[in-house]
Amino acid sequence: MVEEDLRHLGAGAFPVWALPPDESGAGFARAVVRSVFGGLGFPAEVTYDVAVVASELATNVHRHAYAGRAPAGERGPGWPEVWAYLRWKPCPQVVVKVFDAAPWLAYRSYTPVRPPAQAEGGRGLELVDALTAEHGGQWGVHRTRSRLGDRPVPGKAVYLTLPLPTHRLPPAHPPALQATTQTATRMHTLLSARGLGRIHGAHHPQMAVLCVRPGVHVWIRPDALTYRTPGHSTHTHPPHDTVEVTEQIVRHCTEHDDHQPRPGSSPKAGDP
């Protein structure tokens, strides 16, 4: 997928940027946040703080995913990316994600830990945690798949969410409701682009159903999007939350695939 016009972010766009994996990535991430948050009408001080957060996340990609060295050669699948979109459950929020394909680490590796007072670094995630919480947002990390390049690559996304400014909230149902067939077609396209092929669908005037893989289903109705994954409860979203539902399904499938034994290997103790 290519970068979409930010003017359509409120209409369900899902823009993606190629994040430079070197020292310039921090400045690039700040510029993305200024464009996204400025266009959504966030106060200048909030935009500034979130730009600092994005800068820290991009810096972490360079320092940790690439050990402080930009990869050699031309840009290929799995290089770092920045994504942005709006979601509407549990409340209207803007979501920014920084993707990289470095090996997955336990979630505790991303928990802010205060370094010794004499340390000159190591406070990045502590800063991320403080600034995000100050503005009523959240942050975290999850498994997912890349979006740029000729094939999706598994990796992880560190995300941050912030509530949309009250004066920018749309008056009715944002974006405009679409026919179930249109919504199903777009979701099918988004999922296929992330390597979740062989999706089976059934379309009716008042409902469409997508079978992504055994046990992973999406029901698309004029008034709701509902999805279910094995071992999890059923979740219902507003009908315009296409991107968020897609992201949750990609996350589930990537986590499931990561826990499958590789050919010729034996399951590890504790694997489900």
> pLDDT (tens digit, 9 = 90+) per residue, 199-223?
999 988 789 999 999 999 999 999 9
Q: pTM of the prediction?
A: 0.85
Residue 269 resides in a domain:
no
Distances (CA, A) of 223 to 175, 178, 219, 237: 13, 10, 11, 9
- Side chain identity at residue 103, one-letter code: P
Q: What is the pLDDT of residue 76?
A: 78
Same domain flag for 154 and 48? yes
Q: Is the confidence at residue 41, as pLDDT, over 80?
A: yes
Look at residues 37, 40, 46, 38 and name the one whose alpha carbon lies nearest to residue 168.
Answer: 40
Question: 208 - beta bridge partners?
Answer: 203, 220
Q: What confidence tens digit (pLDDT) does each residue in 42-63 have? A: 999 999 999 999 999 999 888 8
Q: What is the pLDDT of residue 110?
A: 54
Same domain flag for 52 and 136? yes
Distances (CA, A) of 73 to 76, 77, 79, 106, 187: 8, 12, 11, 30, 33
**Final residue before a domain boundary, out of 117, 135, 168:** 168
Residue 272 resides in a domain:
no
Question: 224 - beta bridge partners?
Answer: 221
The CA dihedral of 188, 189, 194, 197, to the nearest 10 degrees, is 50
Residues 245, 226: Cα–Cα separation, whole Å: 8
Residue 264 resides in a domain:
no
Q: What is the pLDDT of residue 75?
A: 79
Query: 100: helix, coil or strand?
Result: strand
Q: What confidence tens digit (pLDDT) does each residue in 94-148 have? A: 999 999 998 776 444 455 555 444 444 445 788 999 999 999 999 999 999 999 9
Same domain flag for 243 and 116? no
Q: Is the confidence at residue 262, as pLDDT, over 60?
A: no
**Residues with Cβ within 8 Å of residue 105, at least 6 apart in sequence:** none
Same domain flag for 53 and 11? yes
Same domain flag for 103 and 148? yes
Look at residues 161, 181, 148 and name the one whose alpha carbon lies nearest to residue 92.
Answer: 161
Q: What is the pLDDT of residue 168?
A: 60
For residue 143, give both structure tokens: 């498994």
Q: What share of the chain is helix, strand, coil (3-state, %, to 5)?
A: 35, 25, 45
Tally of structural domains, the chain: 2
Query: 158: helix, coil or strand?
Result: strand
**Final residue before a domain boundary, out of 98, 133, 168:** 168
Q: What confidence tens digit (pLDDT) does each residue in 144-183 have? A: 999 998 899 999 999 999 999 876 665 444 455 568 888 9
Residue 21 resides in a domain:
yes
Helical H runs in 70-179?
124-134
Per residue in 44-78, is it b (16+ CB within 10 Å) or e — as a string?
Answer: eebbebbbbbbbbbbbbbbeebbeeeeeeeeeeeb
Same domain flag for 133 and 187? no
Same domain flag for 22 and 79? yes
Q: Band of the pLDDT at 10, cuts 50, 70, 90?
A: confident
Residue 230: which domain range? Answer: 180-258
